[in-house]
Amino acid sequence: MDTTALLTDAFTRVNQEVHATLDGIAKKHLNQRLDPAANTVAWLVWHLTRVQDDHLADAAGQDQVWHAEGFEESFGLDLPSGDTGFGHSPQDVAAVRVDSPQPLVAYHDAVHAQTLNYLGTLSSQSLNRIVDEAWDPPVSLGVRLVSVIGDTMQHVGQAAFLRGVLERQG
């Protein structure tokens, strides 16, 4: 298996899990919390998609889908323009509200498409390119991609778990 196929498979699994988590979810469960400081399904999916969008656009030297395709305006969140959800307070989490899963799915699918297009341009050698010198050691493209896969998979798993708990609670 080549590098592109491996990375494509990993990001496609995230996309499939986002769809599985949001397919048929009750509107009330999108923005519901287990306690006042907990994340919501909507926030978790928005955050994982923002992180993927932000990190891959930066690595690829592209515009973020969030800005370029009008998702920032259509979501209309009361958050700073470049916000990805890192360090959010309970009040910030509450600001990420949707009336249906559709905007989350549409945004994630658009980011997924841009991700796959970018992955198609990569070779094994390109994964060695340093994309972030703020860390010690500096972060290579390969490490950044694996980090994004890990982060997004973890958050989509949290969203799926939360949905299940909320549905069992009624």
Residue-level pLDDT at 155 = 98
Structure tokens at 7: 């990375």
Residues forming beta bridges with residue 130, ordered by sequence position: 140
pLDDT in tens, 66-120: 999 999 999 999 999 999 999 999 999 999 999 999 999 999 999 999 999 999 9
Distance of CA 134 to the CA centre of its chain: 22
Residue 137 has pLDDT above 90, yes or no: yes
pTM as predicted: 0.96
Residue-level pLDDT at 51 = 98
SS (H, E, C) 73-112: HHHCCCCCCCCCCCCCCHHHHHHCCCCCCHHHHHHHHHHH
Residue-level pLDDT at 36 = 95
Residue-level pLDDT at 170 = 79
Structure tokens at 16: 């499939």
Q: Name 156's Cβ contacts closer than 8 Å, sequence gap at least 6.
A: 14, 17, 18, 21, 44, 45, 48
Residue 1 has pLDDT above 90, yes or no: no
Contact yes or no for 40/32 (Cβ under 8 A):
yes
